[in-house]
Amino acid sequence: MKIAFVGKGGSGKTTLSSLFVRYLVDRGLPTLAIDADINQHLATALGAGDETAMTLPTLSAHLPLIKEYLRGDNPRIANAEAMIKTTPPGAGSRLLGVVERNPIYDACVREVGGARLAVTGPFAEEDLGVSCYHSKVGAAEMLLNHMVDGPGEYVVVDMTAGADSFASGLFTRFDLTALVCEPTLRSVGVYRQYASYAKDFGIRIAVVGNKVCDADDLTFLREQVGENLLCWIDRSAHVRAAERGAIHPIADLEPDNLAALATLRDILDATDRDWHTYQRHAVEFHIRNANAWAGAELADQVDPDFVPGPHLRPQSEPAVGSYS
């Protein structure tokens, strides 16, 4: 199951991503965390010291390897260079499990605070031929396009602020998009913008209130987002302690906040992914990119009969306990 945390800058996307990852890991569930924000803070939120956070390998620095591996022997992709962020998997492509041993994870996934983490890396201009940071998250988009996760396995992605994520196809890759919303007009404004885009693509959004202090905050959120308010996290002493460098076990999170994380997981688990739609969205964005900038001939990379899914996952070596 794939979940993204989106919302206004500073609303708490990284904080809630890290809490949810730690919640899943604490239950021994197979989980991969991905930091796909330009401001890379997820490692720190998971408990990495500054030096570790600065020296983590990045997905974007390993693009040639990622492309070469995922391409496999798909005859529609002539070589790794021909692969762009939206190139959809087809017959012969390599598909990924959430937890397994493969060259991409060996190179890019590290254990941080007990969680497996991949980071896209800070902004650089040259990736994938497009001079904007959307290309930076291209590596994450490629991984998600080829990820055939099953129920009870989780990919948690900390996304970039605001509605910018709609500039790439990345936002269609999730079973649930958790929109982190503070009880403020500006945060609600981002929610409205996101909700209207999402509707056009049938994207499932759930609002997770954050930094809720009192009944007035809650009333405000309920008035503004109505039944889309799934759950909320109160202003948390546990989170503030983490800001001071004291990361306590997730089991010590305030009970109401823990219950909110459980609600989030329940909703995610109850999602029934339609792999046909999943692939159709991938193909749609690929054709759009091919026509817009990559070259119309890249439409030939689409394998019209291919539908990904966990049943296509190869038997791989069992995952090792630590990637560090």
Q: What share of the chain is helix, strand, coil (3-state, %, to 5)?
A: 50, 15, 40
CB 114: neighbour CB atoms within 10 A? 15
Give the binding-site size for Mg ion (rule: CB under 5 A).
Answer: 3
Nearest CB to Mg ion, comparing residues 41 and 238: 41
Closest by Cα among 37, 35, 101, 99 to 69: 101
Our finding on whether 214 is near ligand ATP (CB under 6 A) is no
Cβ atoms 34, 120 nearer than 8 A: yes
Residue among 14, 74, 145, 301 that touches Mg ion (CB under 5 A): 14
Give the binding-site size for ligand ATP (rule: CB under 6 A).
Answer: 20
Nearest CB to ligand ATP, comparing residues 9 and 295: 9
DSSP for 223-234 reads: HHHGGGEEEEEE
Q: Whole-angstrom Cα distance, residue 263 to residue 85? A: 33
Handedness of CA 26, 99, 35, 154 (dihedral sign): negative
Residue among 101, 240, 248, 276 that touches ligand ATP (CB under 6 A): 240
With 0-12 / 13-18 / 19 or more C-beta atoms within 10 angstroms meaning exposed / middle / buried, residue 184 is: middle
Q: Which one of Mg ion, ligand ATP, none is in contact with 211 (Cβ closer than 5 to 8 A by kind)?
A: ligand ATP
Q: Which one of ligand ATP, Mg ion, none is in contact with 263 (Cβ closer than 5 to 8 A by kind)?
A: none
Site string for Mg ion, 16-55 (x = CB under 5 A): -------------------------x--------------
With 0-12 / 13-18 / 19 or more C-beta atoms within 10 angstroms meaning exposed / middle / buried, residue 202 is: exposed
Our finding on whether 15 is near Mg ion (CB under 5 A) is no
Residue among 93, 135, 224, 236 that touches ligand ATP (CB under 6 A): 236
Our finding on whether 141 is near ligand ATP (CB under 6 A) is no
Our finding on whether 239 is near ligand ATP (CB under 6 A) is yes
Residue bearing tokens 């600065």: 54
Q: Which stretch binds ligand ATP (CB under 6 A): 9-17, 46-54, 147-155, 283-291?
A: 9-17
Our finding on whether 172 is near Mg ion (CB under 5 A) is no
The least distance separating ligand ATP from the CB of residue 50, rounded to whole angstroms, comes to 16
Closest by Cα among 24, 11, 18, 12 to 45: 18
Residues in the chain: 324
Our finding on whether 11 is near ligand ATP (CB under 6 A) is yes
Buried b (16+ CB within 10 A) or exposed e, 47-56: bbeeebbeeb
Give strand pairing partners of 218: none
Site string for ligand ATP, 13-42 (x = CB under 6 A): xxx---------------------x-x-x-
Nearest CB to ligand ATP, comparing residues 175 and 182: 182
> How far out from the chain centre does Cα 92 lie?
25
Q: Footprint of Mg ion on this chain (CB under 5 A)?
A: 13-14, 41
Q: Footprint of ligand ATP on this chain (CB under 6 A)?
A: 7, 9-15, 37, 39, 41, 161, 210-211, 233, 235-236, 239-240, 243
